[in-house]
């Protein structure tokens, strides 16, 4: 960020809660460590403002009308850093599953907020190696930020996609076609109408009786490449 202030968006449906956050942030604003770029009162409002304002950090409530803070993150392709500020303690584990910088309970303590802001500022100032692109997945009450490289298989289930990574197989409310647009075509292959496979997860391939290919993945599962897609697969792999 080259010494620029941390751009912060306040997301909370309660006016008094937003006013309290402004009060707590005032010393950081005065020394040009923080710039409050806006306020949002709902997930939908925040989505619109994030697109326009490009904040570095969200101070985010959990429970809001029309969608939770987690619903907001699920709707974003590239989420800013997040510090949750909420009156509820039961979402802490869920917050850290989505890589939140901190989880602050209301009334927010100035010292805790200062520590979390310092962490956010250090992250913004650092020049790390390019991070793997990630996707936010929400299935019921569980949430994950998953690097695309860690996904071995995506399977269409109507308007949903089942995402296979590690030992997890959650359903994501996006179609396979929508996700395919975000994938690196040199890493992911559309094996058939229902499945997309990570080529780095392929251990072995064999011909099958349908003039296609069977891809044997590292986890032992087998994905069939249709005859129409088999030639594309061979071309990508230089076969």
Its domain, for residue 230, covers 146-236
Nearest residue to 56 via CA among 118, 124, 130, 4: 124
Q: DSSP 3-state assignment of 159?
A: coil
How many Å apart are CA 119 and CA 103, to the nearest integer?
Answer: 13
**Count of CB atoms situated within 10 Å of the CB of 73:** 23
Encode pLDDT of 129-183 as tens digits. Answer: 555 578 889 898 888 989 899 999 999 999 999 999 999 999 998 999 999 988 8
Counting the structural domains of the chain, the total is 2
Nearest residue to 6 via CA among 47, 52, 57: 57
Which helix (H) or strand (E) is 15 found in, with range? helix 15-30
Encode pLDDT of 217-228 as tens digits. Answer: 999 999 998 888
The dihedral region occupied by 66, where left means phi > 0, alpha psi between -120 and 50, and beta the remainder, is: left
Residue 136 lies in a domain: no
Tell me, what CATH number does 203's domain have?
Answer: 2.40.50.1020
Backbone φ and ψ for 67, nearest 5 degrees, come out as 150, 140
Tell me, what CATH number does 56's domain have?
Answer: 3.40.50.2300
Residue 222 lies in a domain: yes
Which tokens hold the place of 176? 């396979």
Lowest mean pLDDT among 20-24, 202-206, 234-238: 234-238
Assess whether 184 and 228 both reside in one domain: yes
């Amino acid at each position: 960020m080259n010494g620029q202030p941390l751009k912060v968006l306040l997301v909370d449906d309660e006016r008094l809660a937003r006013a309290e956050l402004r009060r707590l942030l005032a010393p950081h604003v005065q020394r040009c460590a923080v710039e409050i770029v806006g306020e949002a009162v709902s997930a939908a409002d925040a989505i619109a403002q994030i697109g326009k304002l490009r904040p570095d950090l969200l101070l985010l409530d959990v429970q809001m009308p029309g969608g939770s803070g987690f619903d907001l993150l699920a709707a974003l392709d590239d989420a800013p850093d997040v510090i949750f500020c909420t009156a509820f303690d039961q979402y802490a584990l869920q917050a850290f599953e989505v890589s939140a910088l901190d989880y602050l309970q209301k009334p927010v303590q100035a010292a805790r907020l200062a520590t979390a802001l310092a962490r956010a500022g250090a992250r913004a100032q650092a020049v790390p190696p390019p991070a793997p692109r990630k996707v936010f997945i929400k299935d019921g009450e569980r949430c994950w930020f998953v690097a695309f490289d860690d996904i071995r298989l995506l399977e269409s289930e109507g308007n949903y996609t089942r995402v296979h990574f590690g030992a997890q197989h959650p359903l994501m409310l996006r179609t396979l076609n929508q996700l395919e647009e975000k994938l690196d075509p040199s890493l992911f292959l559309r094996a058939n109408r229902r499945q997309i496979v990570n080529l780095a997860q392929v251990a072995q391939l064999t011909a099958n009786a349908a003039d296609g290919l069977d891809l044997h993945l590292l986890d032992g599962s087998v994905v069939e490449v249709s005859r129409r897609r088999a030639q594309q697969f061979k071309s990508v792999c230089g076969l």
